[in-house]
Amino acid sequence: MTEKLHAPVIAWFDAHARDLPWRRPEAGPWGVMVSEFMLQQTPVSRVQPVYEQWLARWPRPADLAEEAPGEAVRAWGRLGYPRRALRLHGAAVAITERHDGDVPTDHAQLLALPGIGEYTAAAVASFAYGQRHAVLDTNVRRVFARAVTGVQYPPNATTAAERRLARELLPEDERTAARWAAASMELGALVCTAKNETCQRCPIAGECAWRLAGKPEHEGPPRRGQTYAGTDRQVRGKLLAVLREAHTPVPQTALDRVWHEPVQRARALDGLVSDGLVEPLAGGLYRLPLG
């Protein structure tokens, strides 16, 4: 089964992979790392312009490390989940201090950087350095769930069984394994999508256990889409938008105008302060963090 998957998926990727800036040689390991932080729970179309502006401003980790963390939050724009900006800034500082400004090649050293978990460490090691690692994002997990285990959707959280399967599916050759990681991810993003999958375009449709079983319906807990309107996340975004636009401290009254419900607004602002995304000052003023 394993051998029957690798060649057709990689051949499909060679023919159909999107030309994305972080896949180009000039992106380098830092460009790959930046893209991995930005792409978490955020579509490519929203990431690409912010990514390009980010790399133009901070082409090396040391360039970002020299800036206040609030500048990373400001440049993050409307990508969402802005704590990622702080974590990326923290990783840049650590790379500058521990690794002479070069993104480390060693998986364990990548994993030791602040803000980097197992997925991001594996992705950078694989995509930037061509190493052999199982890279399990939502798209890859869905491809493996359908093609190998015959179920429509993977569990909500990555399981030990999924990690074991991903390791079993890894090609032995390091370069091929890195290509497989990128190819299986692209297949999930473009063809084996969560909804309206296009099996007629899939290079492994003839091997897919889920398709061969007649595409049985999902039997697990109901899959709920994330809501945004009216949530604390939306309020946090509105508050941060005011602070990103301002280059001097902002009074409480300016923040009060962005959301009508005072209790939720206060809770959202308190959360931003607790997360280190907003810095309170004397006199009821607020700004993006300086240190």
Query: Where in the sequence numbering do the catalytic residues fall?
Result: 36
Distance CA 5, CA 257 (A): 55
Q: Is 287 helix (H, G, I), strand (E, B) or coil?
A: strand
- CB neighbour list of residue 94: distance below 8 Å, 6 or more residues apart: 113, 114
Q: 3-class SS at 61? A: helix
Dist. CA 288–CA 49, nearest whole Å: 22
Tell me if residue 280 falls in helix, strand or coil.
strand
Whole-Å CA distances, 242 to 232, 270, 276: 16, 16, 16
Residue 111's identity, in one-letter code, is L
How far apart CA 235 and CA 109 sit, in angstroms, is: 36
Residue 183: phi and psi, rounded to 5, are -70, -45
Q: How far, in Å, are 35, 59, 118, 204, 214 from residue 86 at the CA level? A: 15, 17, 18, 40, 45
